[in-house]
Structures are given as C-alpha cells and as structure tokens.
A = this chain, B = another copy of it.
C-alpha cells in the first residue's frame, strides 16, 4: 500500500517511526528537504502543501493520503476524493475544522455543548457583543498552535481582536482542560483513548504538560466520552480525532476544539498505551482492525519548547540528566533551529504513582532546555 503524508513535521516523523511495522510504502510532501520527517519515508517530495497542483500531483501517486497539519490545499483533496482516492480524514471534515467559524457551527448543528459564541466579521463588530465578556476571540482561518487566539476581558481589549472573520466565544469557568482521542475506522467502528488532562503554559499558550488518565469525576468523564464520540462520528470520516474539552467548575463539559489527526495530546500513547495514536492511524489507513487503547501505566507528557531568548542552531542542555531518569522516554524532533516556544521535543514519564509523575515532570521541565 502506498501512503502519502502532507506535511513533514514532528507528527509525520513519529507517524513514520511506526510505519516500518506494516507493509507500507511511504511518501511525504513538505517544502523543506531537511524537515523532521523527510529522511524517514521511501519518497520525499519537496513541495508546498497549500498549493493545488502540488497536492493534486502528489496525491495521484499514492493509494491513501493523510495530513499532519490542517493547513493544506483542501480543493486538491476534494478533487482527489471525487476521483476515488482515499483521504483520511475526509476533506469535508478538514474543511469544517480548519475554519473555526464552521467548526463552531458544526458543534451547534450536532447539539454538542460548546461555549456560547457569536460570529464576527471584523474587529469593529466585537463591540456589539460585550455581554459575552470575558471571552476569547478566535481567527476563523489560519490560527495554529496558540496563534490566532486572543482573550478579550473588557472593552479595552477589543483592539487585540482580529480584523477578519472569527468567533467570539464566552470564556468557560474552567476547572480542567482535557482531551480524548477517538479513532474511527472505515467501517465506522471506533475506539476511545482514556482522557488526558492538560496544563497549559499561561504565557505561550502551548500545551506543555499532560497527565493520563485525567483526574476528573466519573460523571464528567462519561459526558466527555459521549461528546468526543459525537464530535468524531458526525464527521462521517475515518481517522483520528483529538477532541479538546473544558470541564467547568460545575462539572459541565464543553468542547473547545478538535484536531482531525494525530495530536500533541496523544504523544504519551507511544509508550504508555498498547496501540499508540501513530500505530492507530496506520491501522485506520491500511484498513486493519483498530488497536487497544488501554494504558500500560499512568503517564505524564512534557513538551520540550525552545527556551526564551534563544534563537538559532539547537543545543540540548540537561539531556543527559533526563536520560538518567528512571522511566523517562525522550523524543527530540530533529529541528535544526530553535526559537522561543517552538516545539522541539517531548518527554513521556511512566509511573504508577501520580505524585511521582508530577514531581518527575517538574524535574524534566527544570532540567532539559533547548538553547542556541
């Protein structure tokens, strides 16, 4: 089977680390020939994944096509799908998710609780919706990794909003942020990974700490699982869907956002779960039975971000110390250049004892620094 991946970042890299277990020939398209995934596939094609012709030509060479980033040319994928190519996830799901306005409407249309919102066409319009504050303004198209999101607490913040179509969404009184990954096979069968609990870095707004299983009440977990499944299934598309949710202080659950692909919130599954999210996506793409999402042990995942004030060729400070730690698994992404807040790697810790996990995670965070 010939499988193509649009995008050659760390998600593609980790996906390709699992590929050799299966009978598959791999293709990657990405602009930069020294991207993290380029050397791990059978065929690397230098090309712009946002370009219609590039994506269309690339797609014609393979049997199955997937993405590791939403920011791809969807028209080309639609044409390929119309011509019978298997695209995972389906372009219709990508299209909905890529545009935050359509994504919010999708939750609304399927009666999936998500925070109250209005659609705004420009910055000026924000002023009509001050009753929603405090709220978050999300850019409709083009936001990624914490960019394209602004918190609007008062009228004075309105100028931070985007002067382009977007969504103004009421802030939830968040108790916990969680994520559940759902895998959907071509025949509609599905599996859910255990919920993970995320701790965001308040400055960079990049996920950088994550506990599995999430420590939330059983009632909230049941709601979250039902909601994640509803989100994933209504796309009517095979694939992996990482559904990020809020649990508020009353125990209600709200969908925040969905990623239609392998996702940062599933990195711990490489070592902590029987079938990792990457293994699972291969199973979906190659039409094999879905794997087991059970955990071998509780885990903690720490994102390794480029240190503040460092930009240039990456060096890893404290790597040896972390490699000495018991039950720590280090993953570096092979990015030659570091920049403040750039995702440069992650570390997964396994431990039956959750307090031990927290203590060790703090230690990793304080020890391993990516500097220039």
Could you tell me which A residues sit within 8 Å of B by CB distance? 13-14, 17-18, 20-23, 26, 36, 39-42, 274, 283, 288-289, 291-292, 296-297, 314, 316, 319-320, 323-324, 326-327, 329-334, 350
Contacts and interface: CB of A to CB of B under 8 A. Distances in A.
B21 A330 contact: yes
A323 B41 contact: no
Contacts of A42: 39
Contact of A291 (B22, B283, B288, B323): B323
B22 A332 contact: yes
A64 B334 CA distance: 18
The 10 closest A-B pairs by CB, nearest first: A289-B324, A39-B42, A288-B323, A21-B331, A289-B323, A17-B17, A274-B327, A296-B296, A13-B20, A292-B326
Contacts of A13: 20
B288 A21 contact: no
Given A17-B17, A39-B42, A23 B332 contact: yes
A121 to B, nearest CB: 44
A319 B17 contact: no
Contacts of A296: 296-297, 350
A320 B289 CA distance: 6
9 contacts: A17-B18, A17-B20, A20-B333, A20-B334, A21-B329, A21-B331, A23-B314, A288-B319, A296-B296
A291 B283 CA distance: 30
Given A13-B20, A17-B17, A20-B331, 16 more contacts: A17-B18, A20-B40, A20-B333, A20-B334, A21-B330, A21-B331, A23-B314, A23-B316, A39-B41, A40-B40, A274-B326, A274-B327, A274-B329, A288-B320, A291-B323, A292-B327
Contact of A283 (B22, B41, B288, B323): B323
A181 to B, nearest CB: 19
Contacts of A326: 274, 292
Contacts of A26: 39
A133 to B, nearest CB: 44
A327 B41 CA distance: 27
